[in-house]
């Protein structure tokens, strides 16, 4: 546990630890004993803040995963840049995020593991997915993209392609592999410019 986590309020420390553990080990691979050990707190303190592991992870989705998705995929409209170029820049910036290359997209990993099993997780994850999709679509609205292109389905295509490129096994994941995988998407996006 890092020094930052030691000085945090207990609830915040729990959320940071749970985010890291679930990201690396998955929901089912993260036990309460792992959480308690990494947090360095008694069980009573943990249950003072959260009723269950499910409650903790749902809070992580809202309070840790949502802001991180904004950080991972920086998609802000800029007056000095075509929207297509902003999307391409964001896709390329993912290659600089070592954890994304090693472990994949944390939202997609949790989605694959928990959405088919639990509606609460599906709903919480869908909120973030829709937020990313809206941001991409907004950026595409400020681009020189051809008018006949359906920006809604293109936004979904961009997300699923990036997530797919990040979902390879660790032995097949690298910056080079990711960039090679998304190059076709980048070429396609560039071809859509007027």
CB 138 within 8 A of CB 77: yes
Distance CA 154, CA 189 (A): 9
Distance CA 48, CA 51 (A): 7
Domains of the chain: 1-50 (1.10.10.60), 65-191 (1.10.357)
pLDDT of 194 > 80? The answer is no
Chain-wide mean pLDDT for the chain? 89
CB 176 within 8 A of CB 101: no
pLDDT of 142 > 90? The answer is no
Q: Report pTM.
A: 0.84
pLDDT band at 8 (very low <50, low <70, confident <90, very high): low
CA distances from 43 to 8, 37, 38, 116, 185 (A): 17, 10, 12, 29, 47
What pLDDT does 85 receive?
92
CB 50 within 8 A of CB 59: yes
Task: Give per-residue pLDDT as tens, 62-109.
Answer: 999 998 887 777 787 777 789 999 999 999 999 998 888 888 889 999
What pLDDT does 26 receive?
95
Q: Report, as an integer, the average pLDDT of 35-41.
A: 94
What pLDDT does 3 receive?
46
Q: Report, as an integer, the average pLDDT of 148-165.
A: 94
Distance CA 51, CA 107 (A): 23
Q: Report, as an integer, the average pLDDT of 17-37.
A: 96
Secondary structure (3-state) at 77: coil
Backbone angles phi, psi at 193, to 5 degrees: -70, 145
């Amino acid at each position: 546990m890092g020094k930052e986590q030691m000085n945090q309020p207990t609830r915040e420390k729990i959320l940071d630890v749970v985010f890291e553990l679930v990201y690396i080990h998955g929901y089912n691979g993260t036990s309460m004993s792992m959480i308690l050990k990494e947090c360095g707190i008694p069980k009573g303190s943990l249950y003072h803040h959260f009723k269950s592991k499910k409650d903790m992870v749902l809070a992580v989705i809202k309070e840790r995963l949502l802001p991180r998705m904004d950080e991972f995929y920086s998609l802000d409209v800029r007056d000095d840049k075509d929207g297509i170029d902003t999307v391409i820049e964001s896709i390329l910036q993912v290659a600089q995020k070592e954890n994304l290359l090693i472990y994949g997209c944390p939202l997609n990993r949790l989605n694959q593991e928990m959405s088919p099993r639990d509606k609460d997780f599906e709903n919480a994850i869908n909120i973030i997915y829709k937020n990313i999709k809206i941001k991409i679509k907004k950026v595409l609205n400020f681009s020189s993209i051809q008018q006949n292109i359906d920006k809604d389905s293109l936004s979904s295509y961009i997300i699923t392609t990036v997530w797919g490129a990040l979902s390879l096994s660790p032995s097949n994941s690298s910056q080079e592999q990711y960039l090679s995988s998304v190059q076709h998407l980048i070429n396609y996006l560039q071809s859509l410019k007027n």
